[in-house]
Amino acid sequence: MQKTIFMDDGPAFKLGLFGYLHDGGVTMTKVAERWPGRWNDIAAMATYADEAGLDFLLPYARWKGMPGEIPQRTHSFETITHAAALTGLTKRIGVFATVHTSIIHPAIAAKMIMTVDQASQGRAGLNIVCGWNQDDFDMFGIEQLPHDERYAHGREWFEIWSRLTSGTDAPFDYEGKHFHGIKHAFSQPGSIQRPWPLVISAAYSPAGRNFAIETSDYLLTVMEDVEAGRKELAALASQAEATGRTEPLKPIAVCYVVCRETRAEAEAFHRYYAEENADNVGVDYWLQGRQTKAMLPEALYKLRSRIAGGNTNFPLIGTPQDIADQLIELQQAGFAGAGIGFLNYLTDVPVFVEKVVPLLKKAGLRG
């Protein structure tokens, strides 16, 4: 069966909006300009992105938010129903649902995402996540599995989900280590995308990368800098080749943008919201359990700035030409696109579309 997924066509370098489905977006800041994340804001952002020709919308999945000096990410929406709503408001852009495999049963996710794909004429995507914040999982009485075991669980989840989403000719039973006792599983119709909707994942460990190689079309990638990203992509390609995968696993750089008329203005604004007005309680919470004791003070300061500025994502800060040049560099390093967050999507995305995207078109990255 020939694969047909919504990001197969269109511009060579894909552009999407990332992390918008809750207050604050990708940031951890206290400034008044932060993203409110109310539904009308999200709907307006989505329709603008659709009309502007962007390729995809991709949210985080959040259930309860995080502590901070002010509430952080506490006002959030569920991602599968969000995809149904936004595809109803738009005409061409792809919309991902981000699913925690420990919380959402694969048979439910299959029927729901197939429905979104049918209703949207083939514009649904799945961002599959095998682990997250234990505080969120406590809401469901779920204890996360050990790290590598999460991906074994996720692999079984994907096997069930993919069979059901593609449409089954006959009922099947499933007996695995993590999913067992499944009898007479059946689902019709199948998705419009074949054999199932586009799948993306984010993984940094060997087990996570192997999971992505086995299941995903695209891989979300966070990097320290472009050179580090280039090395990660080379390692990923070698790992994929060793498993026998024949089609490329396409990497998406996860970024955030601060664009101003001058580089000095952009850097000053980033300092204003990500350093001078960072929510340090929220940043401290984010850092819990991560290995930071051995970090040099300068490196830790930079990390904290990236957490507050854009959830550790790759910062694109400067003039429109600076931003375009960095995205071109990412494309030349082997990235297939970028998922981008902003301090405020309603005010900042139009600047990006009107001033940066034309430069990418001129460079041949966008149609």
DSSP 75-144: SB--HHHHHHHHHHH-SS-EEEEEEETTTS-HHHHHHHHHHHHHHTTS-EEEEEES---HHHHHTTT-PP
Least reliable range by pLDDT among 103-107, 171-175, 237-241: 237-241
Phi and psi at residue 339, to the nearest 5°: -100, 120
**Is-cis flag, bond preceding 146, omega within 30?**
no
Do 122 and 151 meet the contact criterion of CB atoms below 8 Å apart?
A: no
19 lies in some domain = yes
What predicted TM-score, i.e. pTM, was given to this entire model?
0.97
20 lies in some domain = yes
Do 41 and 248 meet the contact criterion of CB atoms below 8 Å apart?
A: no
Q: Is the pLDDT of residue 293 over 70?
A: no
**How many domains does one find in the chain?**
1
Average pLDDT of the residues in 24-46 = 99
- The pLDDT-based confidence of 1 (bands split at 50, 70, 90) is low
Which domain, by its residues, includes 296? Answer: 14-362
- Mean pLDDT computed over every residue of the chain: 96
Structure tokens at 294: 């051995």
Q: For 187-199, write each residue's pLDDT tens digit.
A: 999 999 999 999 9
CATH number at residue 158: 3.20.20.30
120 lies in some domain = yes
In whole angstroms, what is the distance from residue 125 CA to residue 342 CA? Answer: 22
62 lies in some domain = yes
4 lies in some domain = no
Ordered DSSP codes for 28-50? -B--TTS----HHHHHHHHHHHH
**Neighbour tally for 246: CB within 10 Å:** 6
Phi and psi at residue 49, to the nearest 5°: -60, -40
87 lies in some domain = yes
In whole angstroms, what is the distance from residue 12 CA to residue 338 CA? Answer: 11
In whole angstroms, what is the distance from residue 59 CA to residue 359 CA? Answer: 26
99 lies in some domain = yes
Residue 213's H or E segment, with its range, is helix 206-215
Which residues neighbour 87 within 8 Å (Cβ) at sequence distance 6 or greater? 95, 116, 119, 120, 123, 124
